[in-house]
Amino acid sequence: MTRVLVTGAAGFIGSHLVDVLLARGDDVVGIDNFDAFYARSVKEANLEGAMAAPGFEFREIDIVDVGSLVESLTPDTVIVHLAAKAGVRPSLEDPIGYVRANVTGTAALAEAAHRAGVTRLVFGSSSSVYGDDTKAPFSEDAVAIHPVSPYAATKRSGELMLEALAPIWNLRCAALRFFTVIGPRQRPDLAVHKFTRLMLAGEPLTLFGDGTQSRDYTYWEDIVDGVLRAIRWTEDAPVGVEYFNLGDARPVPLTELVDTIAAALGTTPIIEWHPMQPGDVQHTFADLTKSNQVLGYQPTTALAEGVQNFVQWYRDIHDHER
Catalytic residues, by residue number, are 151
Query: By CB under 6 A, is residue 138 in contact with ligand NAD?
Result: no
> Dihedral of CA 243/246/252/257: which sign?
negative
For 124-134, b/e burial (b = at least 16 CB within 10 A) is bbbbbbbbeeb
**Closest separation between CB of residue 123 and ligand NAD, Å?**
8
By CB under 6 A, the residues from 87 to 106 that bind ligand NAD are 101, 105
- Interface with ligand NAD by CB under 6 A: which range of 179-187, 200-208, 268-276, 300-308? 179-187
Query: By CB under 6 A, is residue 303 in contact with ligand NAD?
Result: no
**Closest separation between CB of residue 293 and ligand NAD, Å?**
22
Query: By CB under 6 A, is residue 84 in contact with ligand NAD?
Result: yes
Closer CB to ligand NAD, 136 or 170, in the complex: 136
**Closest separation between CB of residue 163 and ligand NAD, Å?**
17
List 89, 115, 146, 187, residue binding ligand NAD (CB under 6 A): 187
By CB under 6 A, the residues from 17 to 46 that bind ligand NAD are 31-35, 37, 43
φ, ψ dihedrals at 194, nearest 5°: -65, -45
How far is Cα 224 from Cα 81, in angstroms, rounded to an integer? 13
CA atoms within 13 A on the CB side of 303: 23
**Closest separation between CB of residue 322 and ligand NAD, Å?**
25
Binding string, 103-132, against ligand NAD, x = CB under 6 A? --x------------------x-x------
Question: Which residues of the shown chain bind ligand NAD in the complex (CB under 6 A)?
Answer: 7-8, 10-14, 31-35, 37, 43, 62-63, 82-86, 101, 105, 124, 126, 178, 180-181, 187
